[in-house]
């Protein structure tokens, strides 16, 4: 351990932490991934299972991850090593930190490609692409983008470059201020799209798709996907929130902040679903068409709206900001580790991590065109990385966090850090029994072992 004793910066206030953590949580996961997973997994029952996962597994683990971060005050790898030392446990625990750093890195490689699609759409919108857009032209435009590796590469490079520039300057004032401005803007745009959705013909059908619970449509795998999505959307299981927690001042209520962040994140995901599905049904599109869902439906929503070109452009600008505040959180653990342990400057650490991530992202770009035949476990490259991270690594990381906070760490320590008085008795069984058991059961069930 070299510079591991170093104490990082601190957020200026509880609000700053909530904003940064919401910036990490609210991202493409809410606007892009949640709607398309929902479409693929049959709607209502998936929403219900998702909500149960957020409450029963996500929230307690979010609190645990934040508390480990605040107590360890270093990058996730060192934090795990230090806290294990304090608890008299094996330093093998630091590999839980490693797992997280690696997961964030893998996720960002494809996240950047999808964020690149949003950037491409931003310019399409501004260029008046929606004038006269029909179901067919919207479908074609998206297909053309997927078929063009060069165009996707340019956007992927720009997005990764922007992430590296921001991260290399430190997650400071700049990003805090940008998020503070952009998050309310995103919410406003989403509400506007919701109002539009209410007035479409497919509204009733969309709402019943979203909220009518039909458990017959739920398979073991969709349970796993719902749980993976809860981890992904809340940004858990890889040290993002642990690093953010490490900048958290003492005596800020971890329980209350986590509940606010989880609540906001869930609200944004549901609002996105409500904005999108009525449009899907109005235009007789297929809800289960996968990752392209929002890129084909949103242009159709905007085309019918007065001022659609302007709103459409603004929407994709905001999607870009939502994505970049999450991208920063995804790469921060790797950068913090490289600069604290490998002795690199922050600039170098960001540039190295960003370049390696960029290279891996090329695999995702190609998986939509030339390399679409290349499959691993029945999945193309993008689908494989997504499955490996969201459905395996994040739940595994979350499980380790739960076991550590619930069983390895001394009770006095977690109690002291959480400062939640009598409420602690509710958190403790959740983190010791319910959350770990649920993760294991869902996992085994999906593998067909249970």
Q: Which residue in this structure is represented by tokens 């690594």? A: 393
User: Given the complex with ligand TRP, which of 324 and 349 has the nearer CB atom?
Assistant: 324
* Closer by beta carbon to ligand TRP, 65 or else 283: 65
Give 24 or 112: the residue with its C-beta nearer to ligand TRP: 24
Q: What is the three-class DSSP state of 408?
A: helix
> From the CB of 28, what's the least distance to ligand TRP, in Å?
4
Task: Please report which helix (H) or strand (E) contains residue 290, including its range.
Answer: none
CB of 450 to ligand TRP, least distance (A): 25
User: Minimum distance from CB of 420 to ligand TRP (Å)?
Assistant: 24
- Site for ligand TRP, rule CB under 6 A: 24-25, 27-30, 104, 107, 232-233, 235, 238, 240, 326, 329-330, 394
Q: Could you count the other beta carbons within 10 Å of the beta carbon of residue 148? A: 15
Helix, strand, or coil (residue 192) = helix
Closest distance of CB 306 from ligand TRP, Å: 30
Query: Cα-flanking dihedrals φ and ψ of residue 225, to 5°?
Result: -65, -40
Q: Which is nearer to ligand TRP, 21 or 255 (CB)?
A: 21
**232 or 281: CB nearest ligand TRP:** 232
Is the alpha carbon torsion for 148, 325, 180, 56 positive or negative? positive
DSSP for 203-257 reads HHHHHHHHH---GGG--HHHHHHHHHHHHHHHT-SSSHHHHHHHTPPTT--HHHH
Distances (CA, A) of 108 to 7, 145, 301, 327, 416: 26, 20, 29, 6, 34
Q: How far is CA 281 from CA 213, 274, 276, in A?
A: 18, 12, 9
C-beta of 254 vs 264, nearer to ligand TRP: 264
Shortest distance in whole angstroms from residue 22 CB to ligand TRP: 10
Name the DSSP letter for residue 28: H
**Closest residue to ligand TRP using C-beta atoms:** 29
CB of residue 212 vs ligand TRP: minimum separation in angstroms? 25
Toward ligand TRP, which CB reaches closer, 329 or 409? 329
Shortest gap between Cβ of 392 and ligand TRP (angstroms)?
A: 12
């Amino acid at each position: 351990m070299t510079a591991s004793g170093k104490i990082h910066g601190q957020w200026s206030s509880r609000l700053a932490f909530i904003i940064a953590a919401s910036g990490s949580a609210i991202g493409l996961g809410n606007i892009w991934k949640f709607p398309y997973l929902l479409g693929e997994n049959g709607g209502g029952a998936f929403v219900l299972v998702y909500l149960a996962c957020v409450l029963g597994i996500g929230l307690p683990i979010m609190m645990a991850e934040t508390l480990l971060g605040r107590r360890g005050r270093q990058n996730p790898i060192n934090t795990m090593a230090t806290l294990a030392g304090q608890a008299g446990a094996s330093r093998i625990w630091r590999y839980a930190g490693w797992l997280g750093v690696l997961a964030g890195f893998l996720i960002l490689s494809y996240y950047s490609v999808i964020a690149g699609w949003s950037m491409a759409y931003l310019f399409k919108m501004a260029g008046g692409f929606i004038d006269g857009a029909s179901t067919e032209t919207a479908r074609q435009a998206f297909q053309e983008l997927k078929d063009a590796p060069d165009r996707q590469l340019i956007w992927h490079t720009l997005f990764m470059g922007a992430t590296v520039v921001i991260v290399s300057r430190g997650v400071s004032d700049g990003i805090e201020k940008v998020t503070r401005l952009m998050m309310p803007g995103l919410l406003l745009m989403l509400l506007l799209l919701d109002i539009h959705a209410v007035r479409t013909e497919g509204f009733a059908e969309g709402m019943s798709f979203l909220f009518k619970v039909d458990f017959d449509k739920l398979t073991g795998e969709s349970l796993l996907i719902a749980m993976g999505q809860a981890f992904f959307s809340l940004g858990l299981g890889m040290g993002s929130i642990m690093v953010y927690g490490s900048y958290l001042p003492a005596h800020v209520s971890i329980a209350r902040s986590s509940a606010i962040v989880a609540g906001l994140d869930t609200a944004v995901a549901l609002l996105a679903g409500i904005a999108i599905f009525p449009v899907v049904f109005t235009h007789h599109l297929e809800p289960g068409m996968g990752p392209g869902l929002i890129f084909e439906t949103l242009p159709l929503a905007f085309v019918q709206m007065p001022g659609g070109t302007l709103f459409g452009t603004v929407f994709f600008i905001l999607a870009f900001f939502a994505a970049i505040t999450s991208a920063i959180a995804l790469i921060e653990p790797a950068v913090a580790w490289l600069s604290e342990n490998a002795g690199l400057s922050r600039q170098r650490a960001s540039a190295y991590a960003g370049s390696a991530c960029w290279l891996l992202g090329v695999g995702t770009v190609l998986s939509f065109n030339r390399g679409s035949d290349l499959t691993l476990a029945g999945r193309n490259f993008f689908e494989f990385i997504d499955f490996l991270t969201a459905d395996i690594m994040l739940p595994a990381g979350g499980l380790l966090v739960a076991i550590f906070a619930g069983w390895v760490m001394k009770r006095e320590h977690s109690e002291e850090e959480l400062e939640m008085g009598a409420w602690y008795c509710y958190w403790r069984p959740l983190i010791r029994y319910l959350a770990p058991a649920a993760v294991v059961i869902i996992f085994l069930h999906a593998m067909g072992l249970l």
